[in-house]
Amino acid sequence: MRLLANTTKFELRSSLINMVQNNVFNGLSNEDSVAYVENFLEKCDTMHITRVIKVVII
């Protein structure tokens, strides 16, 4: 998806990066892919970038 924003620079908080890295999906049969995606989207919802439309983030 193209970046539809009036800014070219932004920073990701290290706490967000850590949350995503700590929840890895490996595609194993005992893992719930839907739960993983829902969890990831919840994390994305905590993020706000000035002048970036929320739809662009996810």
Given this model, what pLDDT does residue 42 score? 85
Q: Give 17-34 pLDDT, tens digit per residue.
A: 888 888 889 999 999 999
CB atoms within 10 A of CB 5: 14
**Mean pLDDT throughout 35-54?**
78
pTM higher than the cut 0.85: no
**Mean pLDDT throughout 9-15?**
77
> How far apart are the C-alpha atoms of 3 and 5, rounded to whole Å?
6
Share of the chain above pLDDT 90, in %: 21
Q: Looking at per-residue confidence, does 34 or 2 come out higher?
A: 34
3-class DSSP state of 20:
helix
